[in-house]
Amino acid sequence: MSTNYNRSIENPKLNPDPASNTEKDPDQWVSGDEPMTGAQASYLKTLSEQADDPDAFDTSLTKAEASKRIDALKARTSRTRK
């Protein structure tokens, strides 16, 4: 094996497929059990208002839970705004 090939395995930034690590299931996130970030909370609040679903916003969500809820609300709000 060449040295460059070994480096690409050891360092995902050198992976020839740049999209190989860009999307990961939130259930697989190492930090998924941590509280959602401020950015997630803000976006989730906005989406819950747009979807007219205030109960969708919950301050106790984890990062992974917030990500999934954001995805679901994005899908709902994009359908309702057409």
Region for residue 42 given its phi and psi (left: phi exceeds 0; alpha: psi -120 to 50; beta: otherwise): alpha
Tally the domains of the chain.
1
Give domain status of residue 59, yes or no.
yes
Task: Check: pTM over 0.75? Answer yes or no.
Answer: no
Is residue 1 over pLDDT 50?
no
What's the mean per-residue pLDDT of the chain? Answer: 79
What per-residue confidence (pLDDT) applies to 8? 46
What per-residue confidence (pLDDT) applies to 79? 64
Q: What residues make up the domain containing 54?
A: 34-82
Give domain status of residue 48, yes or no.
yes
How many Cβ atoms are within 10 Å of 17's Cβ, its own excluded? 9
**What pLDDT, in 10s, does the model give residues 23-60?**
778 777 777 789 999 999 999 999 999 999 999 999 99
